[in-house]
Structure 1
């Protein structure tokens, strides 16, 4: 991990007056080897890169754990591709001969909602059939009231200011009360009246009145939402994607065109001189361009030059921490769905997924691998009680079917889109742009996006570093457009 190689020659630019003194020997430094950082390094065309990752493995949250023949991702990571460049990248990373099966399988989504003791189709708002009749009536009457209020131009139905208000205005108070409010309260760890509505309006499935009424009387409404189909590695484990990118970068490293350093922290960044200080390195390293995909608050904390208003903006950012279970069973589970939403507060979890129902290689024969996303992120989980609740919703046949269970924690899971989010990110982004730092990806741009969006964001960052400003702007716009959000469908990306 020493700073050897021609592109580090003369890297201590302590007497420099600013980043304009960069030269072609300086690398493009990329912070974070998740999908965004890996994609940025892969797509970079002009000169060498230095990709830095604090952990021992690449991939960020797109990683897999393996134990006893069971494979677990960091909860559901199902790949959805809509951009031709993403599809071409996957074909390049996983070439397949004509006589061989593809390394990836395409899976039709099987998603359910467990509510009031019933198993409903997804999404809730279009599949009320199976709920108690009084609940169905409540939901439909409130839906009509919301539509009539909107037609009259009433402010609450036409200009909602919070996510809760949006759900009530769009679907009625009944659907909001029975699904949107309790589910999102469990997911976010806060009431949805604290969340802004603008970022969800394009992404929540909004069935029309005919679909809602049809779903209420038993006409199944399927295929709604962005993730009706998804792709997944045939051999099991989403880490196949970042590992394939890593292999490509290692080939470039052998050719002297870049370096990938794992187990390396960024300690300090000095944009005014275009330098970074990395753990384990005695000297500062000069950069030609700096791309960051690490969480935005972490980035600002490493830039002592950041002005007070930028530091205040970073302190205003909020995020959701995550606690979930990796659960292995001794027998197949009694359900065939890939994941299910559980909005009722009495359950300790809000979503349960069965990896092996989507791709059998995620578990040994006659067993299963599950993830269980927990509402409580602060206290140790009551595993016996959770096991009984899993039996209740049908995700387990019996408590005794459990082979082992592991508790996992994630510090940065979802970005919180509260009233501070827009002003704070605008302040930070404007300053970073002025000092020549590109912060991108889910946590670098402080957004919610999919795996494909993260890779496209990395491509846009590479285009920016290469000086292709117009291409970068267009690619970033695509990466931010039509990105799925976790509000109704959850993060299955």
Structure 2
């Protein structure tokens, strides 16, 4: 989406590796009982609607970016409905957990709050694992935060620095209020937007206003000669260049090296799953899971955001995405993907969320979440080096930080203006 915005503003060519615009913010369709994936919705509306890499919801948007996106599609506003799910107890606790302690057993909730209060007086640790223990205390950390983050970071909890504190807000006064009554909403995505015509339609409409070349996966860049080579054997010259590729990949393509090792990242496999609702199908938009037999850490339910994600807008069907993180750059072999999908389906059936599966497919995000080692300056050094060599880095993965679609589009506006 960053590249589309940059092309829209500047009129410069955007080179897209895939055959459709939007990168991971693109959609596909799958009929019940079929393994065929289509880029367009059948006219009879008989297919499940999935997104590459799971649900991509628009949060943190400013008025100008919202006005820009509304050019391409009406925008629906949703108030987040999210929870933590504890499978062993078959229990939902509203998200954020730390502000809904009153939904736990009273003695456990009071103990957890006292541990949070004491932890606030201790020094800040340098690792995410230490920060979680200090911030939430041993009770909440053992119950949810540690096992969830071990899954979410693919085992990096003790190797990376704390970051993205806005995802796990901590306000002791609000936590204390949550002991006795329903707590007010908190976090970075209290409300979010979804294009009524779908994210893929929005990406296609944005692409029409720019200049997008498809099937152009960059394989090398010569910054001195100002050329880029693509995997299809073609190439192009440039005067000014914007990269939205991951920061480590951009360095590699440009043949640039730093003295320090790159910071880590995690890859994610997302199972898109359509089927018949089970008797305990949740009403939430997404759920955080600290323990699962299949190793997933989050389940999102597309169809709880919009019925357009299920065939015929059926109220009996569900469309889900299930996320599992792996060490950066690793993938399950194809045969293991099918076995994993079966294990997820059986687990969701056992929970009562799913009665039967009608369609599933796996998608991968190679660079899904980016991290920083304690004390690392790799990100800043890499960005500075590329800046000196004339490469403008824009977007979530290029800048090696968490941000949503709205901020990535704003990055594209600025980058496009900078090279115009």
RMSD: 2.3
Determine whether 1:86 maps to 2:50: no
Specify the alignment match of 1:154 in structure 2: none
The 8 Å contact of residues 140 and 174 in structure 1, kept in 2 or not, is answered as no
Specify the alignment match of 2:36 in structure 1: none
1:53 Cα deviation from its structure 2 partner: 1.3
Specify the alignment match of 2:287 in structure 1: 340
Q: Could you tell which deviates more after superposition, 387-396 or 363-372?
A: 387-396
The 8 Å contact of residues 30 and 359 in structure 2, kept in 1 or not, is answered as no
Give SS of 2:149's match: helix
Q: Write the distance in 2 (CA, Å) between the matches of 1:387 and 1:463.
A: 47
Give SS of 2:29's match: strand
Give SS of 2:283's match: coil
Specify the alignment match of 2:186 in structure 1: 224
Change (3 A) 1:134 1:374: farther
Change (3 A) 1:360 1:202: closer
Specify the alignment match of 1:358 in structure 2: 305
Specify the alignment match of 2:367 in structure 1: 412
1:338 Cα deviation from its structure 2 partner: 0.9
Q: Write the distance in 2 (CA, Å) between the matches of 1:140 and 1:243.
A: 48
Give SS of 1:285's match: strand
The 8 Å contact of residues 147 and 291 in structure 2, kept in 1 or not, is answered as yes
1:277 Cα deviation from its structure 2 partner: 3.0
The 8 Å contact of residues 120 and 129 in structure 1, kept in 2 or not, is answered as no
Determine whether 1:186 maps to 2:186: no
Q: 1:234 aligns with which of 155, 172, 196?
A: 196
Aligned pairs, number:
390
Specify the alignment match of 2:168 in structure 1: 204
Q: Write the distance in 2 (CA, Å) between the matches of 1:383 and 1:302.
A: 34
Give SS of 2:372's match: coil
Q: 2:248 aligns with which of 297, 306, 330?
A: 297
Q: 1:460 aligns with which of 410, 414, 419?
A: 414
| TM-score normalized by the length of structure 2 | 0.86
Change (3 A) 1:346 1:215: farther
1:106 Cα deviation from its structure 2 partner: 1.1
Give SS of 1:214's match: helix
Q: Write the distance in 1 (CA, Å) between the matches of 2:351 and 2:171.
A: 26
Deviation beyond 6 Å, 4+ runs, structure 1: none
1:56 Cα deviation from its structure 2 partner: 1.1
Q: Write the distance in 1 (CA, Å) between the matches of 2:233 and 2:341.
A: 44
Q: Write the distance in 1 (CA, Å) between the matches of 2:372 and 2:200.
A: 28
Change (3 A) 1:335 1:290: same
1:234 Cα deviation from its structure 2 partner: 1.9
Determine whether 1:49 maps to 2:3: no
1:145 Cα deviation from its structure 2 partner: 2.5
- Select the structure with the greater relative contact order (CA < 8 A; seq sep ≥ 6): 2
Q: Write the distance in 2 (CA, Å) between the matches of 1:206 and 1:392.
A: 34
Change (3 A) 1:325 1:203: closer
1:65 Cα deviation from its structure 2 partner: 1.7
* Structure 2, unpaired ranges of 5+: 32-46
Change (3 A) 1:213 1:117: farther
Q: Could you tell which deviates more after superposition, 332-341 or 440-449?
A: 332-341
| TM-score normalized by the length of structure 1 | 0.74
Q: Could you tell which deviates more after superposition, 237-246 or 63-72?
A: 237-246
Change (3 A) 1:205 1:392: farther
Determine whether 1:434 maps to 2:388: yes
Report the structure number with the largest CA radius of gyration: 1
